[in-house]
Amino acid sequence: MMLDFRQERFTGFVGNEENSGQQGQVAPRQIRSGGNVLPDSNSVLTVGGRALTKHSHRDHTSSWWGICKGSEQDKNDHAFKKMTEIMDSAAWMNVHELPGELPTIEIRQKNGYGVRWTCDGAEFRGFVEPQMADGHVVGWIH
């Protein structure tokens, strides 16, 4: 199911819970819950928590992602807070396809940090770094 944004401004979708439940729309709170899913393993680290551990080491200043430390539950909580922070301060949102024709919703805040989900809101696809020249070459380290 692809989200229907024709009747809703992007900024209204991101910051507004009152339209949740309308057919074709996924409320922000429902989307965030996709990051709290446990992976197929014995770990209690959620998909969002695991994604945070991947991204936190890329920011050598620790100013955006913060330091990823503590228990797995601490990391899960930190990831959920970052998802919420990005969505609450959203400046940009796009629906596009990732390789494999996977419809994806991407939300970024003003400095370019962002999050991705499948368009039905069911699967958290990860955090994203700001766009940068040669990002893939340098491993998105900044």
- Average per-residue pLDDT in the chain? 72
Instruction: Please tell me the distance from the alpha carbon of residue 121 to that of residue 19, in angstroms, as a whole number.
Output: 15
* pTM score above 0.85: no
Residue 65: strand, helix, or coil: coil
Alpha carbons 78 and 52: distance in angstroms, whole number: 8
Q: Between residues 16 and 90, which one has the greater pLDDT?
A: 90
Domain boundaries, the chain: 24-128
Q: Is a pLDDT exceeding 80 seen at residue 13?
A: no
Instruction: Please check whether residue 88 is in contact with residue 82, taking contact to mean a CB–CB distance below 8 angstroms.
Output: no
- Backbone angle region of 25, left / alpha / beta, with phi > 0 → left and psi within -120 to 50 → alpha: beta
pLDDT at residue 137 in the model = 66
* Residue 102 confidence (pLDDT) above 60: yes
Q: What is the pLDDT of residue 39?
A: 61
Return the number of other C-beta atoms located less than 10 Å from residue 30's C-beta. 16
